[in-house]
Amino acid sequence: MSARSPAAALPSEYAGGSAAFAERLLNFVLFITVLLSSIAFIEPSPHDVMMFVLLVACIAARVRFDRRLTPLLMLTILWLVGGGLSLVQVGDDPKAIQYFGTSVYLGIAGIIFACLFSDGDMARLATLRRAYLLAAMIAVAAGYIGYFHLLPGSNIFLDVGNVQAEARVSSTFKDPNVFGPFLIYPLLLLMMGILMRGATAIGVAATAVLLGGLFLSFSRGAWIHFAVSASVAVVLLYSAMPGPRMRTRIVVIGFAVVVAMALLVIALTSIPSIHHMLLERAKAFEPYDTGPGGRFTLQQLALNSILEHGIGLGPFEFARIYGLQQHEVYMQGFLVYGWLGGTAYLTIVLVTLLVGLRTVLVPTPWQFYLIAAYAVFVGEACEGIIIDSDHWRHFFLMLGLVWGLSVATINSRRRIGHKHPS
């Protein structure tokens, strides 16, 4: 029979309704998960718990694993195997076990995000954008409340030095050096929107608010990260434009954005406490960088330890032996995860940079999300030279975004090629 009876059609309609519900539920869980990513001063954080809910939602919505993500999966497994082997030396330390457990969770999170965005679903990307922007605004609002003492007890949002003038905004994070970089992806999305579509009152205001929060973190690494990522994003955006008119627009508006940012910084430095802190943080080297117990000496010791311990020292062992961390994520990879894990981590970063570079200039509906994610990843790869970023949640989100959207781009090009064979 050519015609289907209504009864026969019910299972298909029911399946379609179930799939639509699962997809809506997935987007809702994704929104909550990203929204809670700014609450990072407790462990496990709400975001960590929601990642397991997101995994279940992905399974319910039948989010697939694309075979082109296999290199990322294998490298992540090698990184974690190296970390597991290093635990042999410190396996009775609960903190070390918790540290390795966090690495496992973050590695899985990177794979989940890569799978989520590997089909270029624009609804999911829009959900991510809304949630991340809202999370960043909430975090910055908390930072402003703390820095300007707008509520009793609001100093919990600050990282306070020896005197009050040395206060830095850490907001809902443990460290200002993590809070600052967290703001860069939404900042790039806002700035790229201004460059592409022109300035709106809401867009300019939101950008100024987030820039203020980034500035008040007084994180030199975050400032450099933002400068690198913003420069990469503008260059890529300029290269992606099809004609001279749009490129001229980007140059003109980009110049106006730089001037506006400079004026914002000047306005903020008119506040005495901010002016004093800026002068302190503007020094090329702090006391903890140089000297017998400084960062650079510790990095030399770390290099010696890497050469002597192929299996690694395990979590926190270098700091226990020498008193301080070396603050360099690639050395951290070898010290904590051994030669196997360290090599795998370094390879993950390098391969991600190459994969993103291969696809970032290909025109797709999601190209500008990929440009922003790739630019942030470049900045975080650079910042890793001066800080340990292997447990930053937003690092693994950017990792997943670059891989997922790159795979979506490759698959899109292949489909177009099959439709229009030469």
d(CA 372, CA 166): 32
Prior bond to 244 cis, omega within 30? no
pLDDT tens for 225-237 read 999 999 999 999 9
368-393 in b/e burial notation, b at 16+ Cβ within 10 A? bbbbbbbbbbbbbbbbbebbbbbbbb
Query: Can you read off the two tokens belonging to residue 26?
Result: 């997935």
Query: If DSSP codes are grouped into helix, strand and coil, which group holds residue 337?
Result: helix
DSSP string, 135-200: HHHHHHHHHHHHHTT-STTGGGGEE--SSGGG-EE-TTSS-HHHHHHHTHHHHHHHHHHHHHH---
Query: pLDDT in tens for each of the 422 residues of the chain?
Result: 344 444 444 455 555 678 889 999 999 999 999 999 999 888 788 898 999 999 999 999 999 999 999 999 999 999 999 999 988 888 778 888 888 999 999 999 999 999 999 999 999 999 999 999 999 999 999 999 999 999 998 899 998 764 445 689 999 999 999 999 999 999 999 999 998 888 899 999 999 999 999 999 999 899 999 999 999 999 999 999 887 888 888 888 888 888 888 887 888 777 777 777 777 766 655 555 555 556 667 777 777 788 888 888 888 888 787 777 778 899 988 988 999 999 999 999 999 999 999 999 999 999 999 999 999 999 999 999 988 888 999 999 999 999 999 999 999 988 776 565 54
Note the pTM of the prediction, 2 decimals.
Answer: 0.90
d(CA 1, CA 384): 65
